[in-house]
Amino acid sequence: MLWPEMATLFHAYTLERQLFSKPTARALAILDLLMAHPHKAFGLTELTRTLNLNKATCHAILSTMTTYGFLIQDERHKQYRLGPSIVAAGNAAFAQFPALEYARPELEKLTSELGIGCGVIGRSAKHLVLLANYGIPKPLDFPFQLGLRLPNTGPLGATFIAWSPAKTLEAWLQKAQPSEFDDKLDQRLRIAVIGIRARGYEVTLKTQAEQDLEVALSNGRLNWSLEQQAQSTELYREALCSEDYHLNRIEPDRMYPVCNIAVPVFGRGSEPELVFSTGSIDGSLSGKQITEIATQLQSAAKNVTLAAHSASGLDSQPPSSF
């Protein structure tokens, strides 16, 4: 596994363990920036300008992270890049997701066959986390960068929820609600989850909310504030609640403005450990094309699930979703 992906795992799941702290957020913002540019080193001035940090504060954070090996400083140019402690921490996080080891060859093959990008999504208590991207021609120009966190709240994360216990489903539905209960939203989300479980995959449609998020994320590269990212992604989630986001009925000959197709990847338990998802799809797809792409994604997910089970010495078959 490439170490930027391991760093993404470490960073995303470390963030979940924190109550919000501005000093911690500043350190994590530095990691966010360096993870998004794994082949680039940054000097103190560039970091303070990009992250809008006080120079003395930024220098203190960089010095501490360098001391403990989370960053490396080039002595000649005085620039910083990710360090070996991130690799060690990422490996520890990576061990929690054995299926991830087998995802790369499957998705690289799939992106080549389909001609569209694919991503791997993980789940923590509060967030959905983009762990890997494949088949993106210019990843640094792509607004959905590694480590991007979206709220783990309806309507987002439905592929995970479709195979989760009833208690988890109800909590997900409740968190999706605005201050006043919206019966239509509740019904719409329940229908979507039932359909995903029955088909074995999720299909989402293009929305204005997604376009607005892309703009916000692209503009946000000039200011890597975790608070602003969180605000943008929560506004995105709220906006999706009022749009036709899930495709529930698929007719073979009808055309649909599809955004993503997603399938579950199972690990040790009966709930999805990861989700494989296509990137945003250009144009429209027929119902037949949707089914064909979903079938290929499911095949890749099944191969990864079985490989992970075999490597872990698990004899049981994964939950039926293929």
Q: Where are the domains of the chain?
A: 3-91, 98-311
- pLDDT tens for the chain, 322 residues long, are 444 454 455 455 444 444 457 888 889 889 878 877 777 899 999 999 888 889 999 999 999 999 999 999 998 889 999 999 988 888 787 777 777 888 989 999 999 998 888 999 999 888 999 888 888 654 444 456 677 889 999 999 999 999 999 999 999 999 999 988 999 999 999 999 999 999 999 999 999 999 998 888 777 655 556 677 788 899 999 999 999 999 999 999 999 999 999 999 987 778 999 999 998 788 899 999 999 999 999 999 999 988 887 776 665 555 555 5
Residue 118 CB contacts under 8 Å (≥ 6 apart), including other chains: 107, 110, 111, 133, 134, 135, 276, 277, 278, 279, 297
Q: Is 93 left (phi over 0), alpha (psi -120 to 50) or beta?
A: alpha
Distance CA 94, CA 36 (A): 19
Distance CA 292, CA 284 (A): 14
Query: What is the model's pLDDT at position 217?
Result: 77
Query: What is the model's pLDDT at position 310?
Result: 79
Query: What is the model's pLDDT at position 115?
Result: 87
pLDDT digits (tens, 9 = 90+) for 35-63: 777 778 999 999 998 888 899 999 999 99
Query: What is the model's pLDDT at position 316?
Result: 52
Query: Taking the CB of residue 222, how many other CB atoms lie within 10 A of it?
Result: 10
Q: Which one-letter amino acid corresponds to residue 193?
A: V
Arch. (CATH architecture) of 98-311 = 2-Layer Sandwich (3.30)
Third-level CATH fold of 3-91 = Arc Repressor Mutant, subunit A (1.10.10)
Query: What is the model's pLDDT at position 1?
Result: 44
